[in-house]
A and B are shown apart, each in its own frame.
Chain A
Amino acid sequence: MNRSPRPLPARRSPCSAAAGLILLALLLSLIACSSLSLLDSGPHARVYTGQKIPELQLRDARGEAIRLPSLLDRAKKTVVVFYRGYWCPYSQEQLLVLRTRWPDFQARGGQIVAISADDPPMLAEFAYTIEKEYRSRTQESSAPEGTEFPILLLSDSSREAIRKLGIGEDHPRFGLIARPTTLILDREGTILWLQVGKSASDYPSADTLLRH
């Protein structure tokens, strides 16, 4: 029986092999990047590293309107902390630690802005309580009279910012609150780093923030 000769396998040119490898490497790095963003921003968050922070309308303790972008010029980098609320023991501890390490942030040209769904009048009481606890822990009674809590507390009582960033969770007592979320922004509002906590106690340490 005559057998027809087997066709020779098609030869790949070295150029197409190299192009394939480059394509594969690009694909793998794309997958790695996207899974990293999902990891640090959480499954529902609509905020990613590398993107610009959307316009956020907030209010200070006196109820005055504040736009987040207008604050970014004041420092090289801004740490934006979304905390659960004045009532949360973990938020209190987080703000106390950041207050304690404030000089380290300041020395690096940074500033800290902390945002929650708390009403504006609650912000002043929260700041006062944390400052008092800080002074009693550090026994810093020599602080000049009238020294203010150095972290700017802002209110998102309308929950617009929380909704816009997709970082909210429903609390049976306090309604929609922010999951503990921390972002580091540059002057232009680009998100350099972020973490959306998976639980009330899941927030980055001051050392982690200072490394960025």
Chain B
Amino acid sequence: MSPQELYPILERYARSQGIQLNRDRELVLAILEGLLQNEKRYGYRSCPCRLASGIREEDQDIICPCLYSKADLSQHGSCYCGLYVTPAWNQDQGDKPPVPERRPSRKGERPQLSK
């Protein structure tokens, strides 16, 4: 699958969640390229803005859309990567600071998710 093929699929998913893909199509395609690259390497689409371990159990929280995206969208209007954004975020033309990392840096502090 190519980023261009994945784009409308994720666009439909975003719409169903009441959010949108970033209006910067070039950025979105670059993120999708990273997602597909990670899928090729690990077998799952881990966040291309974070360092994955390659072990599904350890990376559960950063499989896109990541566990932190809901909180980031509600607090900052954008997920960590800038792939998913709120409609208001997309309409605002001003500069926005990058979303701070919410994922705990220590492995032991990361949430354990069921498979």
Which residues of A are in contact with B by a Cβ distance under 8 Å?
86-90, 92-93, 122, 125-126, 129, 132-133, 136, 172-175, 200
Contacts and interface: CB of A to CB of B under 8 A. Distances in A.
Contacts of B30: 200
Query: Which are the 6 A-B pairs with shortest beta-carbon distances?
Result: A89-B37, A89-B34, A86-B51, A87-B49, A89-B38, A133-B54
Interface in B64-113: 80-82, 98
Given A172-B24, A172-B27, A92 B82 contact: no
- The range of chain B's interface size is 10 to 19
A172 B82 CA distance: 8
A159 to B, nearest CB: 15
Query: What's the dominant secondary structure at chain A's contact region?
Result: helix
Given A129-B51, A172-B82, 9 more contacts: A86-B51, A87-B50, A88-B48, A89-B48, A129-B54, A132-B54, A133-B54, A136-B54, A172-B24
B98 A125 contact: no
A195 B45 CA distance: 30
**Which of B24, B50, B51 has the largest number of chain A CB atoms within 10 A?**
B51
Interface of B: 24, 27, 30, 33-34, 37-38, 41, 48-54, 80-82, 98
Given A88-B34, A173-B98, A129 B53 contact: yes
A122 B30 CA distance: 23
6 contacts: A86-B51, A93-B37, A129-B54, A173-B98, A200-B33, A200-B34
A173 B82 contact: yes
A172 B51 CA distance: 18
Given A89-B37, A200-B30, A173 B54 contact: no
Contact of A87 (B24, B27, B33, B48): B48
A175 B82 CA distance: 13
Given A172-B82, A173-B81, A90 B37 contact: yes
B35 to A, nearest CB: 8
B72 to A, nearest CB: 12
A125 B50 CA distance: 12
A122 B48 CA distance: 16
A200 B37 CA distance: 12
A87 B50 CA distance: 4
Contacts of A172: 24, 27, 82, 98
B31 to A, nearest CB: 9
Contacts of A200: 30, 33-34
Contacts of B49: 87, 173-174
A50 B37 CA distance: 35
**Which of A90, A126, A175 has the largest number of chain B CB atoms within 10 A?**
A90
Contacts of A93: 37, 41
A138 B38 CA distance: 19
A132 B54 CA distance: 9
Contacts of B38: 89
A23 to B, nearest CB: 47
